[in-house]
């Protein structure tokens, strides 16, 4: 039986062949396992990849787990919550913990000394009824990187790269983080994911957040950032302490994720505006129903839709393409 391998699998396989480290090879194999078609024709390939992955994991973990490696294994994964997981990266003392404190209900330790954050610190950030998970990680410097962070960074959906406008070493700090991401083979993009990287751990939407925009020399440093990095990243100046432009940043994150909100109503009841279904732009009524339960989608007869440019209660089929902020009433 032919394998009928997808372009995504072939691209991941090519990256595996080019990989130079065991860690990178393992990440490529994990990606190949996620995108390989699951049928009789690929059964032997999947078995072979599982064997390779097991050998690489054993090699990386060593013959016997120490207390230190067991501790690292316990913190190298953060379960995803909300519509997306946003990874917060930056050099020491750039204000990452202040950002987490400003946009979530988390209570991170905030101090003037470097390396305050020593483990992943998650918190939930809300933008117009949509919840995003922010994960603050330890700082990155030329001589400091916690290797357990790699798995968390690869599993994230968006990277917020934070720059410190008040630092004399602002550019060195940013370059240290970018250099580490380059080592991890990360492809950083503003918004559009290249087709060959869709679903890949190696391509991340990234926004450069210039913190402390309320200091005296902020404008000059912001201009420097734009000259050097505007082709590669969207640059958003903020002040975590004053709250300046944090809403603009939230809006930008929502935009680059290319998602939409769909609200639901039960026949005869009011619309539930508190907990939207979050879907990729271009999703259909059927996709919305599937996100609730596959049996719900299977039994769906039709739906009624309310929204901009629509007749109130317009009757539609399961293939109808929804728009942001549409209200859907399912009929089964």
Residue 96 and residue 23 share a domain: no
**Total count of domains within the chain:** 3
Alpha carbon distance 300, 278 (integer Å): 19
Q: Give the pLDDT confidence score for residue 210 in this predicted structure.
A: 95
Residue 213 and residue 110 share a domain: yes
Residue 82 and residue 168 share a domain: yes
Query: Mean pLDDT, to the nearest integer, of 97-114?
Result: 78
Q: Is residue 70 part of a domain?
A: no
Residue 229 and residue 184 share a domain: yes
Q: Which of 256, 274, 307 is the last residue of a domain?
A: 256
How many C-beta neighbours within 10 Å does residue 122 have? 20
What range does the domain containing 113 cover? 77-256
Q: Is residue 243 part of a domain?
A: yes
* Helix ranges (DSSP H) in the chain: 7-18, 22-35, 43-61, 67-75, 96-103, 149-155, 170-183, 218-229, 246-256, 285-292, 294-299
Residue 99 and residue 21 share a domain: no
Q: Which of 204, 228, 256 is the last residue of a domain?
A: 256
10-14, 286-290, 314-318: least confident range: 10-14
Alpha carbon distance 154, 329 (integer Å): 37
Name the phi and psi angles at 306, rounded to 5.
Answer: -120, 140
pLDDT tens for each residue of 229-244: 999 999 999 999 899 9
> String of b and e for 138-160 (b: at least 16 CB within 10 Å)?
bbbbeeebbebbbbbbbbbbbbb
Residue 82 and residue 49 share a domain: no
Q: Is residue 69 part of a domain?
A: no
pLDDT tens for each residue of 257-296: 999 999 998 888 888 888 899 999 999 999 998 988 888 7
Residue 87 and residue 184 share a domain: yes
DSSP line for 33-73: HHHS--SGGGHHHHHHHHHHHHHHHHHHH-SS--HHHHHHH
Residue 250 and residue 310 share a domain: no
Q: Is residue 1 part of a domain?
A: no
Residue 91 and residue 198 share a domain: yes
């Amino acid at each position: 039986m032919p394998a009928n391998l997808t372009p995504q699998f072939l691209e991941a396989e090519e990256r595996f062949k080019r990989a130079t480290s065991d860690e990178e090879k393992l990440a490529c194999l994990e990606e190949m396992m996620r995108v390989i078609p699951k049928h009789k024709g690929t059964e032997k390939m999947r078995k072979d990849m599982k064997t390779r992955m097991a050998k690489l994991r054993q090699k990386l973990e060593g013959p016997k787990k120490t207390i230190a490696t067991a501790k690292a294994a316990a913190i190298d994964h953060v379960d995803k919550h909300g519509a997306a997981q946003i990874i917060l990266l930056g050099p020491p003392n750039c204000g990452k913990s202040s950002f987490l404190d400003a946009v979530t209900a988390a209570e991170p330790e905030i101090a003037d000394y470097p390396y305050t954050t020593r483990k992943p610190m998650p918190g939930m950030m809300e933008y117009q009824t949509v919840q995003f998970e922010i994960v603050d990680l330890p700082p990155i410097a030329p001589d400091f990187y916690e290797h357990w962070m790699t798995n968390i960074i690869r599993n994230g959906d968006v990277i917020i790269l934070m720059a410190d406008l008040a630092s004399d070493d602002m550019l060195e700090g940013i370059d240290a983080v970018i250099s580490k991401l380059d080592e991890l083979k990360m492809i950083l993009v503003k918004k559009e994911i290249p087709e060959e990287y869709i679903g890949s751990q190696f391509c991340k939407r990234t926004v450069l957040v210039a913190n402390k925009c309320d200091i005296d020399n902020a404008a000059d440093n912001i201009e420097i950032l734009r000259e050097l990095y505007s082709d590669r990243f969207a640059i958003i100046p903020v002040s975590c302490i004053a709250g300046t432009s944090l809403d603009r940043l939230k809006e930008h994150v929502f935009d680059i994720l290319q998602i939409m909100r769909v609200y639901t109503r039960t026949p005869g009841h009011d619309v539930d505006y508190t907990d939207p279904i979050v879907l990729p732009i271009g999703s259909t009524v059927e996709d919305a129903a599937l996100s609730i339960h596959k049996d719900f989608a299977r039994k769906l007869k039709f739906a009624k839709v309310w929204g901009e440019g629509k007749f109130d209660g317009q009757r539609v089929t399961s293939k109808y393409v929804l728009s942001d902020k549409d209200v859907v009433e399912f009929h089964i």
